[in-house]
Every structure is written in C-alpha cells, then in structure tokens.
Amino acid sequence: MPSIAPFSLPGKFYRGNIHTHSTLSDGLLEPQQVMEAYKDAGYDFLSLTDHFVSHFDWPVADTREFRSASFTTIIGAELHAPENSVGEIWHILAVGLPLDFAPASENEDGVALAKRAQEAGAFVGIAHPLWSQLSIEDGLALSFADAVEVYNHGCAVENDRGDGFYLLDQLLNKDLKMSAFATDDAHFSSFDNDAFGGWVQVKSESLDPDSLLAALKAGHYYGSTGPVFQDVQIDGNQLHVECSPVNAIIAQGGLSRSVVKKGQSITSATLDISLLVEPKKTGWHPVSPSDWFRITILDDSGYRAWTNPIW
Ligand SMILES: [Zn+2]
Ligand SMILES: [Zn+2]
C-alpha cells in the first residue's frame, strides 16, 4: 500500500513544543532555563509563546541565540484580544511571527489580530478550546486558522480541560481543513507538573525554523502524548497503520462510527474504513459518509497520538 503524507515525505520527524511560557509573561522559568529544559528532555525545537499583552509589554521572545546544530526555535507568541462568544479574551497561538510584530491596537479584535498574524507569516492555532469554553461560532469566526489545539497538557492537569477535538471535529464537518496539534502550554508550575505532556512530531527535510514552519502550515505533523506513528498507508478503503506498541488503533470519521483494532502491545493494524466513508446501515443505525477521518493510537498507560485529518 502507498504511504500518505507526512509519512511518505522526505526528511525526518522532529519533536517540538509550540506553546510555552517563560518569565517574559507568567511562566516561572527564565527563557534560557526553558530552552535548557526542553533540550534536556530530548526536544528538537521550541516556540516560546509568551502572552502578547500590554501587561507584559507585548513580548515576542527573541530566541535566536538558543539555536544550534541540534536544537532550534521558532519565534512566536500567544495573542489576546476581546472577545469570544462567552465574553472572555481570545487565546490564539501564533508560531512564526516577525520579531517586530506590532502590538494590538485598541480596536483590533481577536479575529483581526489572528488574521494579521497569519498575514505576517504565522501558523495560527486556536488555543485550548475547552478551557476557554469556545463555541462552534468562535471556531467559525477563526475559519482561516491553520489548526486547533486538540490537546493542551497544562489545561488537562490544571482543570481537566485539555481537549480540543470537540471543536475541531465540528469544524471539519463544516469543511474547514484545519490540522490538530498537541502542546503542553508549560508555565513550569511545580504544583501542576505541566511540562512535557504533549508535543508535535513535524516531518521536515531539516531542522530549519522556516522548513519546520512550512511543514506545520502544510499539516505535515502529528500530535502525541507518548506513542509514535511509524507509517500510514491507504489503498482504496484499506487503511494500514504502523506504530509503537499500543492497545488500540482507531480511525474516527465525522459521525458516531469508528473502526478499531484492539490488542495488547500491537504495532500495526489494517482497517476497512468503508464504514466511515460510504453510506451504510449498521443494524438499526443508519450512518452517513464523512469526507474525512483521523487516526488515534492509545497505549497501555493511556497516552495517545493523533494524526491530522485525512480528507
Ligand atoms: Zn492560553
Ligand atoms: Zn498559553
């Protein structure tokens, strides 16, 4: 069976975190300590995304001095402006910002600010939808965004609101072609132990910030809290997945049905996805076809990894 992107593409997977805070906003570690922590934990790259607000003097962290042959950084920030559908400020991730990205003006709302960041070259991600209680209307207002943060480890450990799939899947069902990234959103609170709990694996030809950024925008990555995808192949309605040892390999479409292989420490599955992509009736339950599906792998410890949506 032929492999699909990003597994079919040249290069290798680089592990990175694209949502992190430091003392430039409300994180507890200095930027240099943050960089050392991720290097020591085996990461290949990091985007330091401090809160871009006047309270912290509009930080866009210049992390270029921390780049080396084996570790790099992407310039970024977490953007804030009024006002989402529940009346709170937006949290919007912008990875790949210019260092001179101008502060938000008084009358610039979250949608305009996110658009300006994307036009300046950034990968724009809708941050922690469940923590922010974002509605489908909020997602549609940011229909131009590149991606949804589907797992935020900091929110998961803070108040069990780390999920973003509820919003992503609804937006995919509206034909919005967004990708799905995982982060830890670490502030390095020792109480929460919020670092290193979620990351992205980005397929790139080199550890070059521009190359990594282009791969993020193209959706050439997957998110994980532990397991590793080795290959995904598709031939007609046959799907083949290879991965690190897991207990479930699941393909989910835009409706209630899914196809699953379960076992103990399985490292591959061949699944028939016709249930997801063709109209069918399973027993008494009619199922409409979906234009997309995605794959989840789940290991023995409950750690998960997720491909981007496959259209
Ligand atoms: Zn946030
Ligand atoms: Zn954050």
Token pair 């899947």 in the structure block, residue: 169
Counting ligands in written order, which one lies closest to the CA of residue 184? 2
Expressed in angstroms and rounded, the spacing between residue 136 Cα and the centre of ligand 1 is 18
CA 35 to chain centre: 20
Nearest to 184 by CA among 65, 20, 60, 7: 20
* Distance of CA 222 from the midpoint of ligand 2 (Å): 20
The DSSP element (H or E) to which 51 belongs, if any, is: strand 51-52
Q: Around Cβ 102, how many Cβ atoms within 10 Å?
A: 11
In order of 136, 181, 294, the CA distances from 168 in angstroms are 9, 10, 11
pLDDT tens digits, 118-160? 999 999 999 999 999 999 999 999 999 999 999 999 999 999 9
Q: How many A from CA of 287 to the centre of ligand 2?
A: 38
Distance CA 201, CA 11 (A): 12
Per-residue model confidence (pLDDT) at position 281:
75
* Mean pLDDT for the stretch of residues 18-44: 98
In this structure, which amino acid lies at residue 264?
Q
Domains in the chain (CATH in brackets) are 12-223 (3.20.20.140), 229-306 (2.60.40)
91 Cα to the center of ligand 2, angstroms: 8
Cβ contacts of residue 253 below 8 Å, gap of 6+?
A: 273, 275, 276, 277, 289, 290, 292, 293
Which residues on adjacent β-strands are paired with residue 242?
Answer: 231, 268
Ligand 2 centroid to 19 CA: how many Å? Answer: 6
Residues 6+ apart with CB under 8 A from 66: 31, 32, 35, 73
Judge contact between 182 and 199, C-beta under 8 A: yes
The pair of three-digit structure tokens given for residue 222, joined into one six-digit string = 């997957």
65 φ, ψ (degrees, to nearest 5) = -65, -15
The gap from C-alpha 218 to its chain's centroid, in whole angstroms, comes to 13
Q: Identify residues whose C-beta is under 5 A from ligand 1, the ion.
A: 91, 127
- Minimum mean pLDDT among 15-24, 183-192, 257-266: which range? 183-192
Q: Name the CA dihedral angle for 148, 153, 157, 158, rounded to a multiple of 10 degrees.
A: -50
CA of 63 to the centre of ligand 1 (A): 20
Interval 183-237: pLDDT, tens: 999 999 877 789 999 999 999 999 999 999 999 999 999 999 999 999 999 999 9
